[in-house]
Chains A and B, each alone.
Chain A
Amino acid sequence: MLDNISYFIRRALRNMRQWPVLCSAAILTMAVALATMATFFLVVINIQGLATSWSEEVQVVAYFQYPPAGNQLAPLIRKVEAFADVKQAIYITKTEALKRFEARLGDDAGLLEGVSRDLLPASLEISLKSGSHNREGVARVVAELKKDSRFDDLRFGQEWLERFENFVDLLKFVGLVLGSFFLLAALFIVSNTIKLTLYARRDELEIMALVGATKRFIQIPFLLEGALQGLASGVCALGFLTLAYKLLLQKSLQTFWLTPVGFDPIFLNGNQQLILVLCGILLGSLGSLVSLRKFVRL
């Protein structure tokens, strides 16, 4: 058994040494296919990360007709914070609202000179829990707030929220379609490249069958070879992806004008990197297996 295993490994390595061009072509093709898919995956998870951080901005602002009395405020905040979807409620006084407005006006703040300090209404800024940054979560909070007559007006960017959710849905759909397309294209290209490498070695396959090698005996070294090439291509793809991320993606995401402050671009985590290399091994082995079925006939 051990003799057989060492023989198969020796033969797989010897085959790779004897056919360096074919071997490199297979590794490169698989590496490009894997790197393309992984880059695409990386872009999608980063855009989704961006979308998630944008969605964290979703909040409900409830304006008071009359600011609550000092002893009523704390119970009101406690009541609102007790809603299932609410993370935090912050009270904004009339003065504070005007200060923010002034800050926003910047150089034009002088326009507010002489304006009454209680021009703007007091409000509660209600931020939502992570699972509630969607239309349903906002609607539940709004429904509860509407029951309280102390609130005069409610603002929650319904239109923006709808557009945002449609955008995320579109992103997921495009991701699925393009991802499937890349996967099929990669499988097609890889299986054809391996077919070509086996075609160049059909004499060897024929002679092995001629001298009484069993199908398994013929196939195992080729499968091992495919797996080793897949491993090499997975590592190459990971290296390429790391470089592309450091040099291009990270910088471009950090300078993207819509990227919120504090958003850290995401790279593949340990498990995802392992999965990428395993995908390489699987791609190489499956590509070899599919092609071998065509060439090894006893």
Chain B
Amino acid sequence: MIQLFNVTKSYGKENVALREMTVHIEKGEFTYVTGPSGAGKTTFLNMLYGACKPTRGQILINGINITRMSGRQIPYLRRKIGVVFQDYKLLNSRSVYENVAFALEAQGKKRYEVSKRVYKALKEVGLEHRLQRKPIELSGGEQQRIAIARALVVEPLILLADEPSGNLDQEVTLEIMELFKRANARGTTVLLATHDHSLYKRFPKRVLGLEDGRLIMDHQP
């Protein structure tokens, strides 16, 4: 599903974010990407959804070389990938419903289909009773669940989560992990970047360890 071959990403001569990274992730796998701050976790995820291109090396997703994709093709790649961030990236001027619907509207889906799927996604994350509220009126955990609903509503092949529990307490983190596990059980490949050791001890899955831009560990439970 995801293949990286000798991928290097540098910003200028001095600042190398990823070094010669080669890794294969199978379809339907749940993988943690771990490492201290500045290890290259975010750069790794960013490259998978086309937010930046590697300086050297190739990345294949579903057999397609995304490093050769033009700017016009990137939106179509992103439609297959759901992304969840630590800071949620929600529109506070829009309702919960509109935030989730945004992802489907961007793909040109019909109105009735949008409303059906948005309701289903919000029910999945337990927010179907908060449809018309603004994200800012909700708790951090609920905001992150909106972001997860937005990522899942498009039924992505891959779900990327960058420190999704960074701002949340233990109890909410566990609820969120359950959502990721359920998505994974439906066949979505999940990559979760975190520096929280307790997470992968509690939910043991494959772990890719990064340090200073290098892949230093690839551990299967």
Contacts and interface: CB of A to CB of B under 8 A. Distances in A.
A203 B77 CA distance: 20
A210 interface: yes
A298 interface: yes
Contacts of B93: 18-19
Interface stretch (B104-112, B123-131, B173-181, B210-218): B104-112
Q: Which of B75, B79, B105, B154 has the most CB of A within 10 A?
A: B75
B108 A4 contact: yes
B202 to A, nearest CB: 29
A209 B75 CA distance: 7
A291 to B, nearest CB: 18
Q: Which of A3, A204, A211, A298 has the most CB of B within 10 A?
A: A211
B71 interface: yes
Contacts of A217: 75, 106, 108
Interface in A95-119: none
Nearest to A18: B93
Nearest to B107: A212
Given A203-B89, A298-B74, A210 B83 contact: yes
B19 interface: no
A207 B94 CA distance: 12
B75 A213 contact: yes
Q: Which of B49, B77, B78, B111 has the most CB of A within 10 A?
A: B78
Interface residues of A, number: 19
Contacts of A66: none
Interface in A193-207: 203-204, 206-207
Contacts of A150: none
A8 to B, nearest CB: 10
B72 A214 contact: yes
A211 B72 contact: no
B102 A211 contact: yes
Contacts of B71: 215, 298
B89 A210 contact: yes
A208 interface: yes
Interface string B160-199: 0000000000000000000000000000000000000000
Top 6 A-B residue pairs of the complex, sorted by shortest distance between their CB atoms: A213-B106, A212-B79, A212-B78, A211-B103, A214-B75, A212-B75
Interface of A: 3-4, 7, 18-19, 203-204, 206-215, 217, 298
28 contacts: A3-B110, A7-B105, A18-B94, A206-B89, A207-B90, A207-B91, A208-B102, A210-B49, A210-B78, A210-B89, A211-B78, A211-B102, A211-B103, A211-B106, A211-B107, A211-B150, A212-B78, A212-B79, A212-B103, A212-B154, A213-B106, A213-B107, A214-B72, A214-B75, A215-B71, A298-B71, A298-B72, A298-B74
